[in-house]
């Protein structure tokens, strides 16, 4: 679609367009429209694969939103995970309306807006469960659900045609850490009243039974606290506030100090403490710089890097390059998170580095140190049974999960008249509901956009992305050869550029100095860091980007190529 403005939705027609999160994990975003009113549900990101060099985040293609700028009246957020709020700074400039979310969700959005220089003014509107807001002809009710972090909600959107329910991410935790239970009663009431369509999380539809409660990890961690004679280090997602609370409580019980290591963990723990979702007794928390001052058996470190991210705290600790936290024999490192598909190699490398330090590694395969934040098959079936929708749209998952969820829904609703209609949609599909029924009526612009620090490029057209980089600040390629044996630099680094122009025209000098920066960076890195191509590539990329910005004021696309011989 190339037209600058899309036509208004047909009269008496409800239109739903998923822009991300269907057929994939992450990047969740959806537009719901009635005539000239559009509301957005979530605005999330996806994280890049290791081979997507120079890419920090991936967001949905926003072309569809740009064609409807005047009709977008609000953005509604279900919870504060990155795959639901990470793209908010990119979406907010496209409309003028409010952003609704719970206190915890909006508190996690605020620093993102500050980083992007966005003044939200009074646009961030805090809501609570069971509260409703009216947006044109649409009324949105917020319904409490349990997940792996506090303050999560589902949405019941009342339209002139009927009510649609969007579950957000959920599991049914019957022993929640904060005592705030999944609002099954409200789901049942909505089902009794009649629900036009249910859009439900499909993440764990292929897991039988029920997902465990957060408290189920306590036994395994109590055993680890009892048996660990050195530092206990737990790698986790920084938004897992419930897991953090459990570990803080155990640290108090076993007389250990708690250090939050990693920028996102420090920031999120501060937000959660300020809002009352995390309670850390006075005198328990210490800074990472203070970790060496305490006996190892008296310290618990909560760290980022459970996915083997090259520059996360645990990756740096594992190769002994963290300024303050170091591993030793008797230390135990626990991976308290699931491996996101595609990260297995990076996680395995990090574990090997940890083993070289003499520390022990514990995973969920060894002890029950992690539970999912998403409901398994029986919880998903329960929600379907309570809501009893006329139409069903599985969301949040790869296509195989969406398909399986649709089959489960049809079995649950077998014998109910009128017969349930499941709509299996992809990103960009235009779902239309009216008096005649429901259908996939066409295709809206959809796709992925790569985000690095300063530039944007579309995944579906890498040539255009490269041209944008070349046209603006150019590209610099650094070829580095490192010996496998000692991790030493072999020969001189070769630095070449295309489209990179320095104001005084002295490109030769700056590229020669860049080679010196590479040599110094490699020399100052540990042998293990040099042997880890992923870590070394990211380290060199960061150093060179800083160097070129400082020397030239420009930010070329930097592609280090690290080879081993």
Enumerate domains of the chain plus CATH numbers: 14-209+373-449 (3.60.15.10), 214-362 (3.40.50.10710), 473-564 (3.10.20.580)
pLDDT at site 464: 47
pLDDT at site 302: 98
Mean predicted confidence (pLDDT) in 307-314 = 90
Q: In what order do the strands lie in the sheet with 124-126?
A: 124-126, 99-101, 72-76, 37-43, 29-34, 14-20, 429-434, 437-443
Q: In terms of DSSP bridges, do strands 475-482 and 437-443 run parallel, antiparallel, or are they unpaired?
A: unpaired
- What is the distance between the alpha carbons of residues 87 and 8, in angstroms, rounded to a whole number? 25
pLDDT digit string, tens, across residues 389-415:
999 999 999 999 999 999 999 999 998
pLDDT digit string, tens, across residues 42-55:
999 987 765 565 66
By mean pLDDT, which of 6-10, 28-32, 76-80, 222-226 is the weakest? 6-10
Mean pLDDT of the chain: 91
For residues 500 and 130, the model is more confident at: 130
By mean pLDDT, which of 284-288, 346-350, 496-500, 549-553 is the weakest? 496-500
pLDDT above 50 (res 361): yes
Looking at the annotation, which residues are catalytic? 201, 374
pLDDT > 70 fraction of the chain, expressed in percent and rounded? 93
SS3 70: helix
DSSP character at residue 7: P
pLDDT at site 466: 57
pLDDT at site 475: 83
Residue 49, classified by CB atoms within 10 Å of its CB into exposed (0-12), middle (13-18) or buried (19+), is exposed
pLDDT above 80 (res 3): no
Whole-structure pTM value: 0.82
């Amino acid at each position: 679609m190339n037209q600058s403005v899309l036509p208004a939705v047909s009269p008496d027609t409800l239109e739903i367009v998923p822009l991300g999160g269907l057929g994939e994990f992450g990047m969740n975003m959806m537009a719901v429209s009635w005539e000239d009113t559009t509301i957005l549900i979530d605005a999330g990101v996806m994280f890049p694969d290791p081979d997507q060099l120079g890419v920090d985040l991936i967001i949905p293609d926003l072309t569809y939103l740009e064609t409807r700028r005047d009709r977008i009246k609000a953005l509604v957020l279900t919870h504060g995970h990155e795959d639901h709020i990470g793209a908010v700074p990119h979406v907010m400039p496209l409309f003028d309306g409010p952003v609704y979310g719970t206190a915890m969700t909006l508190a996690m959005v605020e620093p993102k807006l500050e980083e992007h220089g966005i003044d939200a003014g009074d646009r961030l509107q805090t809501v609570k469960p069971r509260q409703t807001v009216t947006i044109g002809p649409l009324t949105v009710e917020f319904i409490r659900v349990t997940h792996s972090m506090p303050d999560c909600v589902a949405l019941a959107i009342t339209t002139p045609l009927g009510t649609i329910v969007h579950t957000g991410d959920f599991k049914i935790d019957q022993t929640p850490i904060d005592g705030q239970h999944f609002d099954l009663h409200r789901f049942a009431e909505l089902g009794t009243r009649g629900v036009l369509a249910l859009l439900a999380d499909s993440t764990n539809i292929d897991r039988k039974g029920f997902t465990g409660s957060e408290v189920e990890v306590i036994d395994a961690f109590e055993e680890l606290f009892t048996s660990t004679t050195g530092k206990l280090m737990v790698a986790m997602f920084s938004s897992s506030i419930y897991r953090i609370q459990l570990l803080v409580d155990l640290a108090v019980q076993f007389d250990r100090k708690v250090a939050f290591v990693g920028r996102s963990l420090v920031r999120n723990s501060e937000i959660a403490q300020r809002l009352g979702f995390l309670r850390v007794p006075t005198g328990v928390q210490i800074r990472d710089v203070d970790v060496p001052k305490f006996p190892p058996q008296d310290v618990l470190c909560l760290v980022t890097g459970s996915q083997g991210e090259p520059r996360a705290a645990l990756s740096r600790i594992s190769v002994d390059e963290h300024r303050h936290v170091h591993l030793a024999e008797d230390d135990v490192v626990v991976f308290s998170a699931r491996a996101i598909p595609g990260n297995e190699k990076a996680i395995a490398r990090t574990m090997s580095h940890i083993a070289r330090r003499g520390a022990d590694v514990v995973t969920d395969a060894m002890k029950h140190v992690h539970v999912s934040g998403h409901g398994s098959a029986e919880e998903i079936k329960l929600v379907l049974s309570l809501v009893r929708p006329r139409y069903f749209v599985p969301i949040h998952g790869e296509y195989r999960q969406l398909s399986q969820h649709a089959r489960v829904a049809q079995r649950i609703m077998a014998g109910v008249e009128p017969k349930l209609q499941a709509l299996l949609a992809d990103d960009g599909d235009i779902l239309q509901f009216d008096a005649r029924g429901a259908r996939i009526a066409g295709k809206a612009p959809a796709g992925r956009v790569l985000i690095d620090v300063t530039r944007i490029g579309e995944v579906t057209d890498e040539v255009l992305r490269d041209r944008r980089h070349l046209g603006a600040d150019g590209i610099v390629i650094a070829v580095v050869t490192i010996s496998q044996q000692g991790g030493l630099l072999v020969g001189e680094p070769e630095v070449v550029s295309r489209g990179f122009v320095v104001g005084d025209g002295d490109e030769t000098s700056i590229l020669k100095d860049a080679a010196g920066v590479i040599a110094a960076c490699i020399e100052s890195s540990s042998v293990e860091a040099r042997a880890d191509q992923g870590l070394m590539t990211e380290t060199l990329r960061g150093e060179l980007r800083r160097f070129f910005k400082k020397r030239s004021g420009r930010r070329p696309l930097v592609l280090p190529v690290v080879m081993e011989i």
